[in-house]
Structure 1
Amino acid sequence: MDIVLGLQWGDEGKGKFIDLISEDYDITARFNGGANAGHSIERNGKRITLKSLPSGIFMKDVQNVIGTGTVLDPVSFRNEILNLQKFDGSLEPEKNLVISQKAHLVLPTHRLLDVFMEENPDYTTIGTTKNGIAQAYSNKILRQNLRVGDIESPDFKNRVIHILERGYRFLAGGDRVLPSLEEISSEFFEAIDFLKTFKRTETEIFLNKALSEGKKVLAEGSQAAMLDIDHGTYPYVTSSSTTAAGASSGLGISPKKVGEIFGIAKAYCTRVGNGIFPTELFDQAGEEIRDKGHEFGSNTGRPRRIGWLDLPALRYAIMINGVTQVILTKADILSGMKSVAVCTHYELEDGTLEMTAGTLPENARPVLKTLEGWEGDISTLKNAFELPEKLKDFLFFLNNELGVPVTYLSTGPGRQQILKLNS
C-alpha cells in the first residue's frame, strides 16, 4: 500500500496527483474525513470537486473504497454521486465503489450542532466547514453513533429518530430557527435508500485480501498533516487522523504493508479557518498570491490565508509521516516575483532556535531566507531540464533542507501540467 497525504494545512493539490497516478493502482481508498474534503479533479477542460469519493473514481478499472476511518453523510453522498454523473454521464460509480460497513454516519443534527458550536461564544470557534464532521467523530468516540452497516438493522429508523430528537431538544432552546424534524428526517431516509444501492462490506478484509493477491492499493488522505487531531496545531485541526499512521488504522492495513508515502506541499503555504500561521502574509504579496493562485476553498469558497513556505512545519510533517517523496505544487503561481521567501527556522522568545515545528508558542518569530525569484511561464514545459535556473535553485535548496527528494513539480492547474524530476 502506498499513501498520498497533504503536508501543510490542506488544499495542496492531492486530488490532482492521485488522479495522475491512480491508473497505476488497482484500488484507491479514502481513510479519513468526510464531506469536509475538497479534492479538485480536471476532466476534458472542466473541474469537479470530490468530497467523500476517492479521487480514483474516474478510472473505470480502479476499485474505489470509502474506508472505516471516514464518516459518511448520506445526503451529501447522494448529491455528490448525482453531481458526478451529471459531470460525466459515462461513469457508473455503483460498479467501482465499495463502502465500509464500519464507517460512521453523519446525521442531520450533526450539521446543525456544528453550526451551533461555531456560532456560540461558549465554544472555541475553529472555523470548520460546518458539515457535521466533528459531531459525527465525537459521537463515535462517545459510542453514541450509528455506522453504515446499521442501515440494514430492523430498528435503524427508530434509532435514528431517537438521536435526531435528542439533538433537536438540545438545539430547540433560544431563538434559533431550525428546519423541521420531519423535513430533515425525510431527506435523510431517502438518502439512505440511495446508499443501499452501493456495495457495503468489511473493507479491511476486502483490502487485505487484495494486497495478498498482489494488487496495488493507494491510500488517499484528506485535509493534511498539520490538521491532524493529535499532531496538528490543536485545537484548530480536523477531527480525524490525517497522517500515514491514520491510513493504517483507517483502512485496517498493517504498517508493515506500507511502501511509498507521497507528501504533497505547495511552494507557499495556505490555511483556512483559525489557528497559528507563523509565516502569514498581510501585504500586497499575499493578495497577489491569493488572486493568482485562486486561493479560495474548493468546498466552501472561503478565501484562504496566505503565507511563505514554512520549512520547520514541513520538516515536522515529513518526520511524523515517514514521507519518501515530496510533490511540490503551485510553483507556477510564484513565477514573475522578484524574490520569494522561505521560513528556515523560528526564533523563540528566549532566543533559542527551533528547526522542526511541532507545538509552537504563538509568539514564535519566523526567520525568513529570501531567494531570487524566477521568470517565465512554466505551465507549458514538458521537460524538467527546461525549468528556469532560479526555480532549479529553489528545488535544489528544498531537497537539501528537507532531506527527502522533491520528485514531482506541478506547473499549472491542468491534469497533465506536472513534471517528474530527476532528484
Structure 2
Amino acid sequence: MNAYDTGAGTERTFAALPPARGRGFAQTWWGRAWLTALEGTALDSGQLKAGRRLARAGAVGAVSVRPGRVTAVVQDPDRTTHRADVLLQELSGEQWDRFLDMTAERAGHVAALLDREMPTHLVEDAELAGVELLPGLGDLEPECDCGAWDHCGHTAALCYQLARLLDQDPFVLLLLRGRGERALLDALQSRGDASAGRPAPGPGGVDAAEAYAAGDILPSLPGPPSLPAGPGVPPSLDTEAAPAAGVDPPALEFLAARTAARAHRLLEEALRGEPDAHAVEPSVAWDAVRLAAGEPDPAVTARLAEGSGRGREGLAVAVRAWRQGGRAALSVLDEEWTVRGDALARARAALATAWEEDERPALRARANHWTAVGAPLQLRLSRDGRWWPYRRERGRWVPAGDPARDPATALASAEAAAGA
C-alpha cells in the first residue's frame, strides 16, 4: 500500500489500487462492517452494483483520507471524471480521551493496532466507553459533483476501494475519525508514561508480574529457567512382569509421550510470554481427536475411535480437521449453528461482494453451511467470521483447505482440493 502523509499526519494519500477482479473488496471483519454501513444505507442497489464495477475495473484514482472526509476522482466508462467524497463524523475531544484512556490501559489493544489489526474486543471495549469507531447505517454521507443526492456509483466505488485500504491499515479509519497515526501513538505513549509514574499502591499489594518486572526488589529474583532442548523421555513400561488387568502399556507410553510434548510446548509459550489466552480444559470429545492426531499404534487408535463415539472413519475426518486448525476447525466440523443478526448481515455482504455477479455460484444456505448447488462443495462459517472449505467424499463432508475471510478464496481452495 503506497501512502504518504501531508501536513502533520492530518492527511494521507494512497495511490490508486489495481483492479480487484475475482476477489472480495473486504477480507477483514472491520472492512466488511464498513461495506455493511454503505450497503445498508444506499437506496438504489443499482448504484451499488455500478460502484462495484467501477472499483473492480480500477476506475478509482488516488484516495485522500483526512479527518471526517475521504476523496477520490472516479472515472466513468466513457472516461468522464467526477470528484467523489464520503464524509464520516469525527470523534469529539472527550470521546478521543475516553478511547485513548481505554486503549492505554490494555497493552493488547496497542499491540493489535501496531500490527495493523482491529480485533473485535478493541471495538467492543471502545463501545463500552461510549465511542463508536465503525460507522453505522446512515453514517457515510456522500457528496459527488455528478449531482446525485444519495450514494451514486462514484461514491459507492470510493467506499468499496476504501474497504481494501481499511483491510491493510485500520489507522485509516482512525484518521477519518479525527486522529492521525503519529498523533494517536504519541498520545498513547504519554498516557503510558503517566501511568508508569503513578504512586505506589496501598496495603492491597501489587500484581506479582508487575513486581517482578520492576527489577528493584531485594534480594534480587533469579532469571527465568532455560527451555530444555526437547520434551523428556517417558519411562518404558516394557517389563518382564505381566501388566495388571485393564492396563494397556502401549497406550500409557503413548499418553506419557504426548503429555511430555505438550508440557514442553506450554513451557516454551510461558517463557516467551505468549501463553494461549484462549486455552480451555480439554473435553473428552476433542481430546480423543488430539491424541489420534499423534498417530498412535492401531490398537490405541481403535480405542480412541470407540471411546469418542465417532468410529474409525469419523475419527479420521476429525483428525484431518484437527490438523487443519485444531479445536477451532473441529468445532466447525461438529457444530451447526444458526447465523443471525450482525453475523448474518456480514456473511451476506461477504458473499455478495466476493464474486462478480455473473461469476457468483449458486449456494443453498442451511444454518452456518452454504452448499454449492450441483457441486460437492460447501462453505462453513465459523463464529469468528472465517469461511472454511469443505468437499463431499464417500458420503461425508470433509475439510478441504485453510479458512479464509473471503468466501471466494475458501471455495476456490475446496475446488482445487477436489480437482487434485
Q: Report TM bin, short chain.
A: under 0.3
More helix by share: 2
TM-score w.r.t. the length of structure 2 is 0.25
Per residue, is there more strand in 1 or in 2?
A: 1
TM-score by length of 1: 0.25
Structure showing greater radius of gyration is: 2
